[in-house]
Amino acid sequence: MSPAVDAAELRRRTRDLLAAHPPATTDRTDFLKARFDAGLAWVHYPQGLGGLDAPRSLQQVVDAELAAADAPANDPRRIGIGLGMAAPTILGFGTDEQKRRFLRPLWVGEEVWCQLFSEPGAGSDLAALATRAVRDGDDWVVDGQKVWTSSAHAARWAILIARTDPDLPKHRGISYFICDMTDPGVDVRPLRQITGEAEFNEVFLSGVRIPDSHRLGPVGEGWKVAQTTLMNERVSIGGSRIPREGGMIGPVARTWRERPGLRTHDTHQRLLTLWVEAEVARLTGERLRQQLVAGQPGPEGSGMKLAFARLNQQISGLEVELLGDEGLLYGDWTMVRPELVDFTGRDAGYRYLRSKGNSIEGGTSEVLLNIVAERVLGLPAEPRNDKDVAWKDLSR
């Protein structure tokens, strides 16, 4: 880290960027590219890769200057999988060529990413995955099926884990790849959800050829690489920065204030309890982000994601109950395939239904409870009889 890159220096660099590329007259994509090239995209990343090797905590200095100038953002919700999962994994395990090729268009938003991890027979037990990757010269040929893939219908690239050695135990025979979603062997099919949308997809891979140059990490060490992705995923889902009364608690609190006729003593007590818990979760998320300044996310992110799922479901349930018959209304059941989910811009019925997925996506709550118990609290691990058994010999 260069000692010259402090808050004052970042302000100067940000103002130089704004002077050279005025947001009011500069094309949005051109501005974002210039910001990346100036090292102001994610300041803690290395120089030449959108950063300046500065402390992560100083990103807020840049963001504040740009917000004051009404500069365009890169729409982080639309490209959240790329920003929150693919980028830190590429940074941690990618070659110099991979970093140069993928990080800039990822951050700018020119290329959307998705995550090909879960399978019909390997959801909670992800290491039991059956998608195969077989070496063929300089390529890997991949066959299998993935499921619950957010934004696969909009993605240009995917992070993919596949089994490369069935003779090894399940955690040790996996490799990690970058998959081209435009390959003719990739078939994306919508999964209609209880909300009526198809935000998720199932993806069929038939003879998909992936060059070995698109492998992240050594052959057979994909599980280790995937842990970086999963830890970052849980932080990005459960630990995103929100203001007080942000997220799901906001609409309920507004309804409570604006419609006093709906209030009862019971709902008042429950709302107070959930408001306090939401604020505790928000502040805990701030502490977690401060810990990230010192290194990679750890298992604590699983606790944040657990709290996020539980609170969203309880808060949305209270909102529907508070609104009575009105809470049962559902605005639009039209089949759409959104690139992102808007939890707060829809009606209460939508929030109630969509929150049911929060305890599944990004790792089921049951799996996360085990992670917190074993890796955070230090409790004894559950018995695992298949730990040293070759994957091909496991019953499926």
Active centre residues (catalytic) = 233
CB 159 within 8 A of CB 116: yes
In this structure, how many other beta carbons lie within 10 angstroms of the beta carbon of residue 356? 15
User: Rounded distance, CA 91 to CA 38, Å?
Assistant: 18
| Both tokens assigned to 264 | 């009862």
What does residue 104 show for φ and ψ, rounded to 5 degrees? -65, -55
Radius of gyration of the chain (CA): 22
SS3 for the chain is CCCCCCHHHHHHHHHHHHHHCCCCCCCHHHHHHHHHHCCCCCCCCCECCCECCCCHHHHHHHHHHHHHCCCCCCCCCCCHHHHHHHHHHHHHHCCHHHHHHHHHHHHHCCCCEEEECCECCECCCHHHCCCEEEEECCEEEEEEEEECCCCCCCCCEEEEEEECCCCCECCCCEEEEEEECCCCCEEEEEECCCCCCCCEEEEEEEEEEEEHHHEECCCCEHHHHHHHHHHHHHHHHHCCCCCCCCCCHHHHHHHHHHCHHHCCHHHHHHHHHHHHHHHHHHHHHHHHHHHHCCCCCCCHHHHHHHHHHHHHHHHHHHHHHHHHHHHHCCCCCCCCCCCCCCCCCCCHHHHHHHHHHHHCCCCCHHHHHHHHHHHHCCCCCCCCCCCCCEHHHCCC
What does residue 25 show for φ and ψ, rounded to 5 degrees? -120, 0
| Both tokens assigned to 149 | 């893939």
